[in-house]
Structure formats: C-alpha cells, structure tokens
Structure 1
Amino acid sequence: MVLKLKSDDGPHVYNHTLTLTLVEYASAVYVSDLTELFNWTCERCNGLTKGFEVIEIIFDVEHCLQAYVGVAKDLNAIIIAFRGTQEHSIQNWVSDLFWKQLDLNYPDMPDAMVHHGFYSAYHNTTLRPAVLGAVQRAKKSYGENINIIVTGHSMGGAMAAFCGLDLVVNEGEENVQVMTFGQPRVGNAAFASYYSLLVPNTFRITHEHDMVPHLPPYYNIFPQKTYHHFPTEVWVRDLGYSNVVLASVEKVCDNTGEDPTCSRSVVGNSILDHLKYFGIDLKCATWRQCTIVMSPEMDRFSRKDSKGFDSLCFSILSFVWLDMEQKKWVFLLAIFACLLFFSRGRVAVLKWKTDDDSPVYNHTLALTLVEYTSAVYMSDLTELFTWTCERCNGLTKGFQVIEIIVDIEHCLQGYVGVAKDLNAIVIAFRGTQEHSIQNWVSDLFWKQLDLNYPDMPDAMVHHGFYSAYHNTTVRPAVLDAVKRAKKFYGENIKIMVTGHSMGGAMAAFCGLDLVVNEGYENVQVMTFGQPRIGNAAFASYYSLLVPNTFRITHDRDIVPHLPPYFYLFPQKTYHHFPTEVWVRDLSVLKIVRFGIEKVCDNTGEDPTCCRSVMGSSISDHLTYFGVELMCETWRQCSIVMGHEVESYSRKDSKGNIFLSRTDPSPEVTEMKTISTTGVSSI
C-alpha cells in the first residue's frame, strides 16, 4: 500500500500506519554497522521499511551526529533520518536540556528565538550540505515531484525540525512532512508560529512520561521568554497490566503546540519511555556503546573530507566519516504540585531558643526583621544612616547604624547596626533593584550549580550567589562593622542576618561565613523570598552549622521556587536548607485580612509548604507581612546623600560608597531631621 502524506480533502491528517513506518526508520539510524545500514540489511531494516534504498549516510563523530538519506518507493518519498544522542550519555544529555537558553535569533524571522546548539547541530556541521546534496541527487533520479519525509528521535528530532524548515524556506521544496519522536523544544512561541505556518505537515509523537518533550521547560508565566513547542503533538499512552503493554492509545492534540491535556498533563520523568516508541527501540544496539563498524568491501564507496574523515561513495551512494566526541550533560526536571495546605501560625515572645535549646520560629521577631529588610531598600543614605527614614519606625525604632555599604560596581547594598531591644547586631542585605526584577527572576531558571563551596566535600553552589557576598566590597565591610559593634557592645552580643530575594541569598552566605570563618556563635539567619543557592550537600552542611535559620516564603512567591528543584536527580539539583516558614494570605473580597504561618519540616523541601503550589507571583515576592520589600521609587533605586553625613563617608577607587561610625556616640543618630539642601545623588 502507498501511504498518503495528505488526506483527500487537503488538510494534513495524522497517519498511524505512516508513524509505525517512520519509527522504524528513526530506529535504523542508530545502527552502528555502516555496511549493513548502507545495504539496508540490518536487523532494523526489515518490516515496514523493507526495500529502502540508501542514498547517503553521514556520520559526524566530531559532533557525535549520524543521519542518512534514501528513497522509500512504497511511500514515493525521500526519507531523511537523524539519530538522537548516544545512549551511554542519554541521562547526561537530557539533564543539560534544562539549562539551554534561547540565545539565537532565527534568520529572517522577527522575534523567533532558538537555542544555538540545536540550530548548529544541523546548520553548522557537515550534515546540512551532505543532506541537501543527497536530496538533489535523489530528486534527479526519482523525479522532482517525489515527497520528502524528515524524521528523527530525541536530538535527532530537533535536527529533523530544522531540516524540514530549511528545505521549505531555503530550498523551496514542497510536499515536505516532518515527524519526530521524543523531540525537545527548540524555540520560542514566535518560532513555533512561523514553523507551523511554513511546515504545517508536522507531527511530534510523544510517549507517556517521556521526559525529553518536557525540556527545555515551558514557563507559562514568562510567555515571551520561554520555550514553546510547535504543533501538532500526538500523545501515545500505553494500556497494559503488570508492566506488559497490551495496546496504545494515540491522542491528536490541539494546534497550540502546548496542549495541557496531552503530555503536559503528566510529569515527564521517564527515560525508558524516551527510548522506546510503539515497541521499537530508539537507541544504539549495544548498551553504552555506539561504535562504528565498516567492512573493507565498502572502501570503494568511501571518501574523506578536508578534515581527514572517511566516507563512502558510488554513483549516487555516499558516506561521510567524521570524528567522535562525548559531551557531558546534567538532567534536571521541574515539578510544581498544585495542592493547598493550611496550618496554624505561631506567635511567641522575643526569644531565640526553646528550653531544650533547639531553635524556634518567632512571629514577632519575623515582623521586626521584615522591617529591617524593607529599610535596606531606602535610597536616601542620610535618612538611612540616621535611622529617620519612613521605614525606620515601628518595631525597629531606636536602631543604631554602624555601617552602610553601597557597592556601585555590582549594584549591591547592605547595612550593619545594633538593635538594643534585641541585644543583637543586625545585618541586612538588599535584593535586586525593582526595575529589573522580572529579568532577574527569569534568569534564575537557568542558573547552574557551578562552584564547589570551600572545604565542604560535594557541596555545590552557584558562583553568582556566592560571589555577590564573598567577592565584592560587601564582605570585608560587613565583617569590619561586626567587629566594631562587638567592641562597642560586648563580645556576647548576638548577630542576626536578614535579607530579601538576592539579599536573602547573601544573608545565608554571610551567616555561614560568620560561623565557619569568623568563629562567631549565636548567629541567626532569617530571610524573605530567598532563592535556592546550593545543592543538597550544601544544605546539609548549612543546616548543621547555622541551625538557627528560618526562610520565610509568601504564598505563591516565585523566587523560592528558583532555581528549580528536581527530585528525580537529588544529587545534582538545587535544594533549600531548612527551616521554611510558609505564610499564606487569607482574604475577603481580595482584601488580605491576615496570614497563616506554617513551620515546615526539616528537609528544606517540604512538599506541603510553598512547593505545594505553583510559584507564579512576583507581587507576592515584593510584599511580606504587608511590608513592601522594594525600592520606594518605581523603576529606580537612586542613591541620595546629604552633606551632613559626608564626614562619615568614604569612597574606594571603584566609586563604592561606605558610611561608617567608628564609635557609639549618639551624635548622629539623635539628629531628627536632616535638611535636604545640598544633597548629592548617584
């Protein structure tokens, strides 16, 4: 039977039998015996693909790629098949998919973004010229009206998509169909729109819980920046009993490319589902090995390119040989459950520990520290230094500032001072400037664990979070101010470190630094809307060394969900340290009446706390306990300083600003109002 590419009435329809045929072609491209593949005598070269005639085989070992081009007379079609990743590296390859950013504008398509790695695998290797040359030879031999079908699995599916688009847009080919299996996302929504318009006869087959179609992740809260599948997905569900598949059900999904009732309706957590479609293996025949075998009788068909790679050539048959290189990849997968849990909050007097010496959450202390955290966003350094600002009242009244640090170079701000009512030194760090909060949050999706924390085996953190505290002017200024404060107020004074957002990450590193490197005791850390900063090993060390730590999270605040936590790969994913306190808002007619606080478990990743809801809100990130945690001026965090405090200020060679008190005299802090005449701004 000749399988039709189109229905009689014109629109493109899904063809189950064609799919069963193409999955065999997609499987055959994994065969490592080039002689059998070239002659189409391999184990996988029977069944529905019998009689196929190979035109070209390309094996690019430099980039670890393989493909072939040939003619299927029963389909009246040229078949182009691309191989996916070698199985011995599949888990590593899949893991790295999470971190791929949209970083390349697709040529001549406004706003269409793709990942350069996916694009380059087809466009910037030997594959494209070899494939296009083979297509031209096949059309010359079999006629201009022959159909073209492009297929591939996994990374091969991504290459198939780019190839199909290339054939239509740049080569002017018609009658091009693309069918892929377990293909990752390759571009954004704009690219998906162009693609579906130009190559409408495209079907993406997805299988059960196959993880790869879920990657790189789709973030509906950032539609302009996220990856987005093109249509049409066909989702294959297995029906069976006791792991025996009895039948498969195929669902043709909607035309959005991201149908929430198809593969997106389940967690993509299976590599096994990725390696088998319709009972056909889509992997190399030998476990952990994709070696290439070529018998001597094929030498007469071979040639080498300018890089010295072997090839095969006879009449319209050819083969290209290139060099192999493994790549290291890391798999991570995001799951945000949508459950809702409430718990009673705790209210207590200001005390640090229970009678049994274990840390306890203190509601009143949290209300106090959120005010200190809010104050660090103030841009008027005179008011902040004299503690006369709008946010310098309430529970923080009477605070005495020791040091203000404004790191102009890295856009950081913090202060150190003494709260006599708490008998504590308070250190506060500012979060990201508000005008860039959305960009900063979106960047959190892509931050990888890339730095070993010193002297902590297996503890990994992100260098950006680490460096913001350790490798800027902030750390030496903070440590010096703490020493001065302890000199003024006694060695036994406590230390509380707080911060919001990125400031929370800096607060965590500061608290750990004070304990580990400075040898201080009685250190407490309380952060608000803090992102994850390290892996599980780091979280374990941290909770052991700084047990008096509480991370306050607010309702659906997006930042505590980032960088994402992937439970399937616990050794490689980010992991929060304990103890989380999740604050849920109770409201009537959208007016928040009060919050309920739940003290979470000691894992750091309690699935019944903020992880039980989708982290989708920036507004929840910018307000905690009704207190604003952002700069007072929209889209601006300018610095203003009056001449009255210039005698306390200094600048370093890079323009960073420091306001310091060298003694505890009340002279400055007793100033009620500072004249606004003659102020300098930065």
Structure 2
Amino acid sequence: MRSSFSVVALALAITVFATPTDISPAPESVVEDAKQLTVGSVTPLSAVQIESYAPYSSFSDAADCPPEKRTNWQCKTCQADSVKGFQVYKYGGDGGVVQYWYVGWWPSQNSVVVGRQGTDPAKIQAVLTDAKFIPVDLSEEQFPGRPASAKAHNGFLASHTRSAGDVLSAVKDVLTQNRATKVVAVGHSLGGALAILDGLYLQLQLGSAVRVTIRALGAPRVGNADFANFVNAKVSDVVRLTVKRDIVPVLPPLLLGFKHTTGEKHLNSDDVWNSCAGQDNLSTDCSVGEVLTEGFKLSDHLGPYPGGVIIGKTGC
C-alpha cells in the first residue's frame, strides 16, 4: 500500500509540473488495478456528439484564467462561438488555497454554468490538495441522503467545501434571475474532480426541479464505489472526457479504494472518440485500458479535447 501511494503521489506531482512528450510504461498501480477490471463495450461517438462537448472544453479552459482575464468574458478561449455569449455573474478563489471558480449564465442553452480551475503548479497548496489520498466521509449537511459508506478524496472534498456555499448562493441567484432549471458543472483535472463534487452537491441542494449535469475533463477518480454509484444515481447526465494516454484519470488507484463514475468518453490514440460502458472499462479504447497497454504520456492530460482545445494553449 505504501509503495502504491508513492507511485500515485509521484505521478500526479510529475503531471502537474511538466508536459513532456515521452511515453512511459504504465505504473504498477495500473497493472494491479487491471486485475479487478474487465473489457466492456465501446461505441464510437458521432461528429454531432463530439461537437456537443466542445463548449465544455472552452468553459474548462477559461476556468484556469485569472479572474481579471475573464471577468467580462474577454479571454481568448472565451471567444469560441459556442460560448461567446456567456455572462459571468460571480467568481472567486485565489488559485491556491481556494481554486478559481466562476458562475454565470449561458443564454444559448438556458443554463447556469459553474466553472472550476484545475491545478496550478505554481501554487503549492493546489498541488498538495491533489496529493491527499485518504477517502473520508461526506458531510450529511452538504450531501443530504448520502450513504454512510460513501467516501471521497479528502483533498478534493476539503477544496470543494471551502467555496461550496458561495457557489451555491451564486447559482441560486442566476437560476432565479433567469427563471432557469438547468445547471452545468465543468472543469479540467482537479477542476474536473471539483465539478463532480459540485454536480452532486448542487443536485442535492437544489432538488429535483433543477437538472444538473456534469462535464469533467481529465478528472481523477474522486471517491469510492459507493460515492461513484451515488453520483450516478442522483445526477442523470455525467460525462467524463479522457484523452489518450493521460495518467490522471487512472488515479488514485482502485487498490486504494477509489472508483470512477460511469460516463467516460475517450479519445484513443487513433483520434477516435468512443463512449466507454461502465465505470472503469479495460478496453484499449478507454482510458485505463490504453494506459495499461500503451503507457502514459503526460502532455495528453492537456488534450486535445472536443473543439481541438489544448488546455492552457489558447487560454487567457
């Protein structure tokens, strides 16, 4: 267990500090995890389906920008046609102890959007958040009705808690102002983990009259199997976008008690997007299967995501 923890901590630390193009062998944790998994069904996505996910690439990319770069939605990635009319309502965070976040109105989809920043390697607090791997209980106050056995990554959960109340307040305001009933939680990397927590939290807090969806790009596993099942039971539309040999989506490992939600859409090394059935699909056309057989490539963590977005390249 101790050696596996070291592999994961090292892999995440390397991933956020560098993006080399070299391919490295799958870590031992992935090899061990594969013994618990089976190959599931895979269905290629249509061009229309792929394009429908493009706005979430831009929303995630924008979340990594400092607030002054996107306050009036003027950042470079903010100018993508699918998100150009977005209106920022409120934002917060310092990029370190509290990840940047924003809440706003997406007129073309009649939806509120909650965007979450990924890990900034220049802010050590954010990196340390990734490195805390202990699964802990969910708060009944924040996640009413959660199974007592559901647990989530303590670093991700603590990071989410620091801004959850402010985000919820802003979301309620925008919903009321626009008489809306739809919310999208989105983010990349650590931001993707926070988006998964946001999606569950907001759905439970807002109730069934509001439909919350999750779009998590390059997200790690967030909690145990009971947590993942609870997310899928409460949030009807969960999509996790993963790219080629990205190692982050195969961490933290199953052997530490973590499990993904369903909803993976994976871009394989042949540049084909596939829908992967199940929670962790061992098919080579899905994240864990590809990393197991092909190794990992750190730069794949940044994309390309739908719309051709490389996180941080167009950006701010």
TM-score, scaled to structure 1: 0.38
Counterpart residue number, 1:417? 104
Which amino acid letter does the alignment assign opposite residue 584 of structure 1? N
* Aligned match for 1:599, one of 275, 283, 305: 275
State the secondary structure of the residue aligned to 2:213. strand
**Shift of residue 450, structure 1, vs aligned partner:** 3.2
Pick one of 33, 36, 44 that aligns with 1:344: 44
* Residue type at the aligned position of 2:174: A
| Matched-pair contact (CA < 8 Å) for 1:433–1:631 | no
Distance 1:555 1:459 in 2: 29
* C-alpha distance 220-334 of structure 1, shift in aligned 2 (>3 A): farther
Instruction: Give the Å deviation of 1:545.
Output: 0.4
1:138-184 Cα shifts (integer Å, max 9, x gaps): xxxxxxxxxxxxxxxxxxxxxxxxxxxxxxxxxxxxxxxxxxxxxxx
Deviation at 1:496, TM superposition (A): 0.8
What is the match of residue 236 of structure 2? 547
Which residue number in structure 2 is paired with residue 178 of structure 1? none
Q: Which residue of 1 aligns with 2:195?
A: 507
Query: Residues 527 and 556 (structure 1 numbering): CA distance in 2 closer, same or farther, change over 3 Å?
Result: same
1:97 aligns with 2:2: yes
Contact 1:222–1:442 (8 Å) recurs in 2: no
Map 1:467-486 onto structure 2 (within 5 A): 467-470=158-161, 472=162, 474-486=163-175
CA contact (8 A) 2:213 2:237 kept: yes
CA RMSD of aligned residues (A): 3.3
Task: Look up the match of 2:261.
Answer: 577
2:22 paired residue number:
none
Q: What's the counterpart of residue 561 of structure 1?
A: 250
Matches within 5 A, 1:391-540: 391-394=77-80, 395-407=82-94, 410-435=97-122, 440=127, 444=131, 447-452=133-138, 454=140, 455-470=146-161, 472=162, 474-492=163-181, 494-520=182-208, 521-540=210-229
Structure 2 counterpart of 1:619, one-letter code: S
Q: C-alpha distance in 1, partners of 2:174/2:34?
A: 45
Distance 2:133 2:94 in 1: 23
SS in 2 for 1:560: helix
- Determine the C-alpha separation between the residues in 1 that align with 2:223 and 2:164: 19
Matching of residues 88-167 of structure 1 within 5 Å:
96-98=1-3, 101=6
1:436–1:563 distance in 2 versus 1, CA, 3 Å: farther
- Contact kept? 1:377, 1:631, Cα under 8 Å: no
CA distance in 1, matches of 2:94, 2:13: 33
Q: Paired residues, what number?
A: 284
Q: Deviations over 1:619-669 (max 9, x none)?
A: 111123231223879xxx9xxxxxxxxxxxxxxxxxxxxxxxxxxxxxxxx
Seen in structure 2, the aligned counterparts of structure 1 residues 443 and 518 have a Cα distance that, compared at 3 Å, is closer
Aligned to 1:140: none
Residues 129, 156 of structure 2: 8 Å contact kept: no
| Larger-gyration structure (1/2) | 1
Residues 345 and 423 (structure 1), Cα distance of their counterparts in 2 relative to 1, 3 Å cut: same
| Aligned-pair CA distance for 1:583 | 1.1
Q: Aligned in 2, Cα 1:500/1:384: closer, same or farther, shift over 3 Å? A: same
User: What is the deviation of 1:585?
Assistant: 4.2
**Normalised TM-score (structure 2):** 0.79
CA, structure 1 residues 544+425, in 2 after alignment: closer, same or farther (shift >3 Å)? Answer: same
Query: In 2, distance between residues paired with 1:628 and 1:514?
Result: 28
Distance 1:223 1:516, change over 3 A: closer
Contact kept, 8 Å, 1:453 with 1:460, in 2: the verdict is no
Q: Which moved more, 1:497-506 or 1:518-527?
A: 518-527
Cα 1:467–1:497 shift into 2, 3 Å? same
SS of aligned partner of 1:628: coil
Q: Structure 1: which amino acid aligns with 2:282?
A: P
CA contact (8 A) 2:200 2:231 kept: yes
**Cα distance, 1:442–1:502 mapped onto 2, change above 3 Å:** closer
Contact 1:530 1:559 in 2 (8 A): yes
Q: How far 1:432 moved relative to its partner?
A: 0.2
Check whether the contact 2:129–2:159 (CA below 8 A) recurs between aligned residues: no
Q: Map of 1:272-291 to 2, 5 A cutoff? A: none
> Percent same amino acid among aligned pairs?
26
Counterpart in 1 of 2:17? none
Q: Work out whether residues 72 and 88 of structure 2, in 8 Å CA contact, stay in contact via their aligned partners in 1.
A: yes
Q: Which amino acid aligns with 1:475?
A: A
Match of 1:177 in 2: none
Deviation track 1:18-37 (CA, whole Å, cap 9, x = no partner) reads: xxxxxxxxxxxxxxxxxxxx
Q: Matched residue of 1:497: which SS?
A: strand
Distance of aligned partners of 1:483 and 1:631 in 2 relative to their CA distance in 1, 3 Å threshold:
farther
**Partner letter of residue 45 of structure 2?**
G
Question: Aligned pair in 2 of structure 1 residues 443, 398: CA closer, same or farther (>3 Å)?
Answer: closer
Judged with a 3 Å threshold, the aligned counterparts in structure 2 of structure 1 residues 222 and 368 are, in CA distance, closer, same or farther, namely: closer
Structure 2 counterpart SS, 1:517: helix
Matched, 1:623 2:312: no
- Paired AA for residue 530 in structure 1: A
